[in-house]
Amino acid sequence: MAQASTGQLKDQLGARIDSLRPDLERIGRQIYANPEIGYEERQAAGWLSELLRRQGFSVELGVAETPTAFVATRRNGSGPTVAFLAEYDALRGLGHGCGHNLIAMASTGAGIALAEILDQFPGRVQVIGTPAEEGGGGKIRLIQGGIFQEVDVAMMFHPDTKTQVLHWALAVTHLHFEFTGRAAHASGDPEKGINALDAFVLAYNAISMLRQHIKEGARVHGFLIEGGTAPNIVPERTRGEFLVRARDEAYMQELVQKVKNIFQAAALATGCSVNLSFGEDPYTDLRNNGVLARLFEENLKRLGIDPVEGVPWENAGSTDMGNVSHVVPAIHPTLAIAPSDVAGHSQAFLEASGSLRGYQAMIDAAKALAMTGADLLADPSLVENAKLEFRRA
């Protein structure tokens, strides 16, 4: 395809997304004003499905036995399948303090615009609604449900304080613990008690010591949900949750074993019993696909946006997009919506996610995503290159 016509095509995509802006912003604001936590995003999934249906997509709501997950598809002939992933879950107690309202609409807008060039370049465009990113692992359920089997590339953006194409995310798993001891009068019969709070304190201190001897970038952090019932009763039960993170899943599992040993040792030392469990499958680290990243970067620059280089692993969190990136070539670039001193999951980030700057970033992201999709549909050898790099990794 000639350069000039690619340019024209991208201008058309940009103009189409501008024309979609009122719808995208309206629904983005609705999602923002009606935050729903993981697996409860019935309204968000409904609004997105309705918009996509109106735009000619066939929408299957409730895929992978998950009522708030969906797959919206438009296809023409056979060609690559380009998927844009829409997150829309909120944070418990903080609403859209992670800006998933913007992710939802950027991916939806990109999908709608890109699908309109399928008459020129055969293939398939999907918008995949992925619930419960903030714990719950919605994308893992969709992977297990086979939703990504026919996807060639998967893309999304995430709002941030930096505009950066490559993103580093840690593998993470959630460890739930419960110590059980024996209640007793803390003054009258202390010798008859078995103190479950002591077990927790021992474990907590041992984890703090472990932290000095773990690899760069790994993280272990947690909290106590239940620490006893009254000061004059020896605490019979303590329970809580720890997160174990590392730069790759293998080392994360190594750390998990060390943390499990600590809990067992604390139980032994105090005479408690301990029950350890994992809430969901681990999130894996995120693999950036270089082919997709380069295309996305060119398209950002085309829009007059200059991304920063990015320091690997700086301020790294975790995302279930990591799991997707181990199944298909993927990118998870970020666009700035707030100054660099703003923390994620904060009141200030919540405000940024509902701001004009936030909705502008949503539009810019939708354009860059759609343009990257156009590159891939217009030249399927780029998809092959992305897959080649994926297989080598």
Stretch of 29-37, 48-56, 97-105, 216-224 contacting Zn ion, by CB under 5 A: 97-105
Stretch of 90-98, 249-257, 307-315, 379-387 contacting Zn ion, by CB under 5 A: 90-98
Stretch of 93-101, 149-157, 164-172, 287-295 contacting Zn ion, by CB under 5 A: 93-101
SS3 193: coil
- Terminal Cα distance for the chain, rounded: 29
Tell which one of 59, 98, 199, 361 touches Zn ion (CB under 5 A).
98
Residue nearest to Zn ion (CB): 98
Query: Which of 98/127 has CB closer to Zn ion?
Result: 98
The Cα 194–Cα 182 span in angstroms is: 5
Q: How far is the CB of 335 from Zn ion (least distance, A)?
A: 13
The Cα 4–Cα 7 span in angstroms is: 5
Query: Which of 37/265 has CB closer to Zn ion?
Result: 37
Q: How far is the CB of 116 from Zn ion (least distance, A)?
A: 28
Q: How far is the CB of 344 from Zn ion (least distance, A)?
A: 6
Query: Which of 238/318 has CB closer to Zn ion?
Result: 318
Residue 203, token pair as written in the block: 């474990």
Q: How far is the CB of 100 from Zn ion (least distance, A)?
A: 6
Which parts of 350-379 interact with Zn ion (CB under 5 A)?
none
Q: How far is the CB of 87 from Zn ion (least distance, A)?
A: 6
Q: How far is the CB of 281 from Zn ion (least distance, A)?
A: 18
Strands 330-331 and 153-155: parallel
Stretch of 96-104, 108-116, 324-332, 333-341 contacting Zn ion, by CB under 5 A: 96-104
Stretch of 17-25, 32-40, 47-55, 95-103 contacting Zn ion, by CB under 5 A: 95-103
Q: How far is the CB of 158 from Zn ion (least distance, A)?
A: 6
Stretch of 30-38, 92-100, 149-157, 320-328 contacting Zn ion, by CB under 5 A: 92-100
Query: Which of 98/140 has CB closer to Zn ion?
Result: 98
Phi, psi (rounded to 5 degrees) for 291: -65, -50
Of the candidates 267, 330, 353, the residue with the CA atom closest to the CA atom of residue 89: 353
Number of residues that bind Zn ion (CB under 5 A): 1
Stretch of 91-99, 253-261, 268-276, 379-387 contacting Zn ion, by CB under 5 A: 91-99
Q: How far is the CB of 259 from Zn ion (least distance, A)?
A: 23
Strand (E) or helix (H) holding 16: helix 3-33
Q: What residues have CB less than 8 Å from 175, skipping those under 6 apart?
A: 222, 241, 242, 243, 244, 256, 259, 260, 276, 277, 278
SS3 199: helix
The Cα 92–Cα 103 span in angstroms is: 18
Strand (E) or helix (H) holding 32: helix 3-33
CA distances from 57 to 53, 152, 355 (A): 5, 18, 29
112 binds Zn ion (CB under 5 A): no
For 122-168, the DSSP string reads -EEEEEEE---TTTT-HHHHHHHTTTTTT-SEEE--EEESS-BS---
The Cα 88–Cα 213 span in angstroms is: 37
The Cα 290–Cα 329 span in angstroms is: 9
Query: Which of 98/171 has CB closer to Zn ion?
Result: 98
Query: Which of 98/382 has CB closer to Zn ion?
Result: 98
Query: Which of 290/317 has CB closer to Zn ion?
Result: 317
Given the rule CB under 5 A, which residues bind Zn ion? 98
